[in-house]
Amino acid sequence: MKFLKLFLLFGIGLHAISFSQTHTLYVYDAKKKTPLENAHIMHKQKMIGYTKADGSVEINHEIEEVMIHLLGYLETTFSISQSADTAFVVPSVYQMDDDIVVYAHGNQPDINNYKNSSAHLTLDQMLDNVDGVSMIQRGAFAWEPMIRGQDDQRINLMIDGMQVFKACVDKMDPVTSYVESDNLSKLIIDKSGSGVAENGNGNSTINLITKKPDFESFKLNVSTGVRYPDFYRVISTTSEVSSEQHSFRFSGSIKQADDFVAGGDSNISNSGFGKVNLNLAYRYRAGSGNTLDISYIFDDARDVGYPALLMDATRALANMLRVQYNWNEPGTNVSNTSLLIYANTIDHEMDDYERDVANRAVMRNMYMPMAGITKTAGAKLSRNLSIAEQPVSLFVDGYISKAFGDMMMISLFDIEDMYITNLGDIYTGSTRVGAKTNFLFSENVLLKLEESLEFNRVELTDKSSKSFFEGSYGKEVQPRARFLFSSSAHLTWLLNDRLSLSTKGIFSQRQANYIELYGHYIYNYVDGFFYDGNPFLKPETTLNSEINAQYQIAENAFSVSAYYKQIYNYISGMIDEDISNQFYQFKRYDNVGDAYLTGFEVRWLSNWTRSLTTDIRTAYTYAQNKTLDEPLPLIPPVHGSFLTSYSANTFSVSTTLEWAAQQQRIAEQTSIEDQTSGFAILNFEAGKTWGNKLETRLTINNILDQYYNQHTSIGNIPESGRSFMITLSYSL
């Protein structure tokens, strides 16, 4: 029991152990109480030393906090104080957090976490690097994340806990497109959806955590890079100035790319893009330890080509403001509380003026400028407290969002302009309360429970759109209001210090989103149908289960997860034959029956020497529409990667083999996808740091210049062929 308490202490990030004035740090196994050798000691994302055989390492006396990383152990933050010199780290097989974390920079991976291997990987590439996460691609820009075969309305995408809704009905602007990797601290990914208390439902979740000021007196970094042959060029800067109580951080980047070139020197037209991203962040630190964070994100993408789509984005503009206050209440049973208030707007414009509209497959002979906008405001209160010595986290969350989208159709012939409202001023409101707690049943068995109750209301206010749905369904369209309940249980069994088993069960209800309820005449590139909403959809109910095993042997760590998700009242499009013809085919959303998804993820991480590491990953999803007795569409085949990396002092080099098998399981009734072939590509990267200030990096992707496409690539748009990229980064 003492061990588990210690474990919990570390698990929730309370690191109160202090450090002696000698600044000799000892790192010990938390269970065996034995010293650990070769633990990596990190400070501000840089390696500052390794522990010796006795677990010791010398730390500069000016350093107040370090990160301890050792394969097989949970990454641990250690605050150095005057009275303690030993850090106890917990074997990673005892991972209790449901989330996996993808660190944007620097941190070494462990079996539950990943790192960004390159300073200039895009956010899309970082996500694509996580097993169980796939990216739906419509070109070179703004890939749409998919977790275990689920995307869009069945996953949560958040930025620093904010609800943000895309404005493009063609999904050109997933929320992940509005945060740049140079402004990203980490990605928190809840693949199973068990974090229902904080996330508000049982959907899989990606939360993008941006960087916050960390009270550096002065910091400046300038980076630039260029890639051949698409001449992708980027310049970015981050800076920080701070006083004792105030800290400001700024980051900005400008990106521009021409059309990319697929394998075999195949130019992919309409695939270039340009983008500006700015982020301002401020933190106030009171003497009491309370903090106030204010941050603003401005993201402006222009002339973004989407070769898989009929149109290109003229402009995608995001403005996001966020204010969060964190406070402690010493002497009470509340350890900490945070209040988040936010607002954001997304404006999206697209057109096809640069396309050959006379010869395309659908909606020929007309230009179709489209616009979309979402406006969202919300607040979230989070409290960690103790009730009868039981740790409890409470969440109260609410937001309201408005969505509008419309489209003009301007014929090449002498035909009157046409106009349609795709999203007619739709308001989505949500109020949620959530709670989670842990129970220790024995020294080796831990149960975590989470509950969430949401009141969700979606209202269509545009008179014309409302009239259309009333005519289509023959009854009055009222606001769709529902109470939705979600619950999860996570049981962890620590068999020994090498092996842990865990199992999760998740119950979740999902209200159809505003597009499924009230979207009108929205073209779906996956199946080639125009979709109309259904204001009378019943909520989907999901039962999800997952088992996970983690095993640690010497310098090797293994993890395997398997899951099964059953969805009842599955919402999908059904053909509307009354108004469909050979040129224009229509579907309406409906509750079509049941579907299920099952699959696994396997990972083997190994430190062969202090410098040489391999990371092998494989993932597979099998998804079936039970009612139609066919696979769900856009499910990636079994795929994986084999990363070998070597780092010594200021030099690092890595190669990655990425592969995917062919996908023969395709949806023929609900999509027009086709089977895709397997592929394997090889990537290379080398980096060197010069004088601790200048970093150079060379990246060669798809060395063998393979022509291939992912199964989740809309329209079978191929991936980039061989490319070379050089990046320079200078820090003061």
Determine if 416 is a binding residue for another protein (CB under 8 A).
yes
Determine if 364 is a binding residue for another protein (CB under 8 A).
yes
CB 350 → another protein: shortest distance, Å?
18
Q: Which stretch binds another protein (CB under 8 A): 55-63, 197-205, 406-414, 719-727?
A: 406-414
Cβ proximity to another protein, 148 vs 588, nearer residue: 588
Cβ distance 697 to 719 under 8 Å? no
Determine if 331 is a binding residue for another protein (CB under 8 A).
no
CB 366 → another protein: shortest distance, Å?
6
What region, left, alpha or beta, does residue 160 occupy, with left being phi > 0 and alpha being psi -120 to 50 degrees? left
**Which position among 237, 239, 503, 580 is part of the footprint of another protein (CB under 8 A)?**
580
Residue 553: how many other CB atoms lie within 10 Å: 11
**Which position among 58, 65, 417, 674 is part of the footprint of another protein (CB under 8 A)?**
417
Closest CA to 99 of 112, 81, 114: 112
Cβ distance 436 to 467 under 8 Å? no
CB 582 → another protein: shortest distance, Å?
9
Beta strands in 128-259 (DSSP E): 133-136, 144-147, 150-151, 155-159, 162-163, 184-190, 204-210, 218-228, 233-242, 246-257
Whose tokens are 């401005």? That residue is 298
Distances (CA, A) of 176 to 123, 179, 209: 7, 6, 11
User: Residue 611: what are its φ and ψ, rounded to 5°?
Assistant: -105, -20
Distances (CA, A) of 516 to 225, 422, 490, 506, 539: 41, 12, 31, 23, 11
d(CA 81, CA 657): 44
Determine if 365 is a binding residue for another protein (CB under 8 A).
yes
Strand, helix or coil for residue 177: helix
Cβ proximity to another protein, 65 vs 417, nearer residue: 417
d(CA 246, CA 233): 34
Build a one-symbol-per-residue string for 528-547: x at contacts with another protein by CB under 8 A, - elsewhere. ----x---------------
CB 460 → another protein: shortest distance, Å?
12
d(CA 36, CA 122): 35
Task: Say if residue 506 is exposed, middle or buried (CB neighbours under 10 Å; 0-12, 13-18, 19+).
Answer: buried
Q: Which stretch binds another protein (CB under 8 A): 38-46, 481-489, 578-586, 679-687?
A: 578-586
For 480-516, give the DSSP string. Answer: EEEEEEEEEEEEEEE-SSSEEEEEEEEEEEE---HHH
Q: Which stretch binds another protein (CB under 8 A): 152-160, 465-473, 541-549, 611-619?
A: 465-473
Determine if 218 is a binding residue for another protein (CB under 8 A).
no
Q: Which stretch binds another protein (CB under 8 A): 360-368, 551-559, 601-609, 666-674?
A: 360-368
**Which position among 280, 323, 343, 366 is part of the footprint of another protein (CB under 8 A)?**
366
Residues 503-522 that bind another protein (CB under 8 A): 520-521
d(CA 214, CA 212): 6
Determine if 411 is a binding residue for another protein (CB under 8 A).
yes
* Residues touching another protein, count (CB under 8 A): 37
Q: Which stretch binds another protein (CB under 8 A): 124-132, 405-413, 591-599, 602-610?
A: 405-413
Strand, helix or coil for residue 556: strand
Determine if 464 is a binding residue for another protein (CB under 8 A).
yes
CB 577 → another protein: shortest distance, Å?
11
Closest CA to 387 of 327, 437, 337: 437
- Lookup: tokens for 595: 């579907």
d(CA 151, CA 157): 10
**Which position among 205, 374, 452, 465 is part of the footprint of another protein (CB under 8 A)?**
465
**Which position among 586, 589, 600, 679 is part of the footprint of another protein (CB under 8 A)?**
586
**Which position among 579, 648, 694, 704 is part of the footprint of another protein (CB under 8 A)?**
579
d(CA 179, CA 59): 35
Cβ distance 623 to 711 under 8 Å? no
Q: Which stretch binds another protein (CB under 8 A): 98-106, 213-221, 298-306, 461-469?
A: 461-469
CB 590 → another protein: shortest distance, Å?
15
CB 715 → another protein: shortest distance, Å?
20
CB 593 → another protein: shortest distance, Å?
24
Strand, helix or coil for residue 566: strand
d(CA 532, CA 287): 56
Task: Say if residue 280 is exposed, middle or buried (CB neighbours under 10 Å; 0-12, 13-18, 19+).
Answer: middle
CB 525 → another protein: shortest distance, Å?
18
CB 576 → another protein: shortest distance, Å?
8
Build a one-symbol-per-residue string for 466-495: x at contacts with another protein by CB under 8 A, - elsewhere. xxx-xxx-x---------------------
- Lookup: tokens for 368: 């179709």
CB 312 → another protein: shortest distance, Å?
20
Q: Which stretch binds another protein (CB under 8 A): 9-17, 126-134, 223-231, 462-470?
A: 462-470
CB 371 → another protein: shortest distance, Å?
14
According to DSSP, the residues that pair with 663 across neighbouring strands are: 676
Cβ proximity to another protein, 133 vs 368, nearer residue: 368
Determine if 578 is a binding residue for another protein (CB under 8 A).
yes
Residues 419-438 that bind another protein (CB under 8 A): 419-421
- What is Dmax (Cα atoms) for the chain? 85
Cβ proximity to another protein, 412 vs 554, nearer residue: 412
CB 674 → another protein: shortest distance, Å?
24
**Which position among 16, 53, 358, 732 is part of the footprint of another protein (CB under 8 A)?**
358
Determine if 581 is a binding residue for another protein (CB under 8 A).
yes
- Lookup: tokens for 653: 């080099």
Cβ proximity to another protein, 82 vs 581, nearer residue: 581
CB 520 → another protein: shortest distance, Å?
7
CB 538 → another protein: shortest distance, Å?
22
| Contacting positions for another protein (CB under 8 A) | 358, 363-366, 409, 411-413, 415-421, 463-468, 470-472, 474, 520-521, 532, 576, 578-581, 583-584, 586
